[in-house]
Amino acid sequence: MAASNEIRELRVALTVDDFDEAVRLYRDGLGLSVVKAWDEPTGRGVILAAGQATLELIDRPQAEFIDQAEVGQRVAGPVRLALEFPDIQSAITAARAMGARLVHDPAITPWDSLNARLEAPDGMQITFFQQPR
């Protein structure tokens, strides 16, 4: 791809059944800042800043390996969010206060990061991870 046409942003769009609950979790619980919000006759939306974005593509065996390492069994669907925090414990506490369910306690993974798995109230699987210091 030509340098003049490089991708500038990766945006993941989640369709949620309970918009207010999702906003409380991601904005208030996890501290993502609002970039833009709208409430129109066609619907509501919010764009939240979430640090640097990357796209991780994995095959089914790798997905099974990750779920096994983080949870002990295959639980995620085809999309799972992964968010890095400097303090995973405080992020877990904040997310749980906003309705997220802890699927598995933090554990050191084979790739040497501290990972925990949570499930948002809408069912989205989210890996919280903290890199070794």
pTM of this structure: 0.88
Tens-digit pLDDT profile for residues 40-97: 999 999 999 999 999 899 999 999 999 999 999 999 999 999 999 999 999 999 999 9
Residue-range definition of the domain harbouring residue 22? 3-130
Of the candidates 86, 87, 11, 25, the one whose C-alpha atom is nearest the C-alpha of residue 53 is: 11
State how far the Cα of 23 lies from the Cα of 75, in Å rounded to an integer.
24
Provide the pLDDT confidence category of residue 3 given band limits of 50, 70 and 90: low
| Sheet with 80-84, side-by-side order of all strands | 80-84, 125-130, 114-119, 101-108
Q: How many domains does the chain have?
A: 1
- CATH number, domain of 90, equals 3.10.180.10
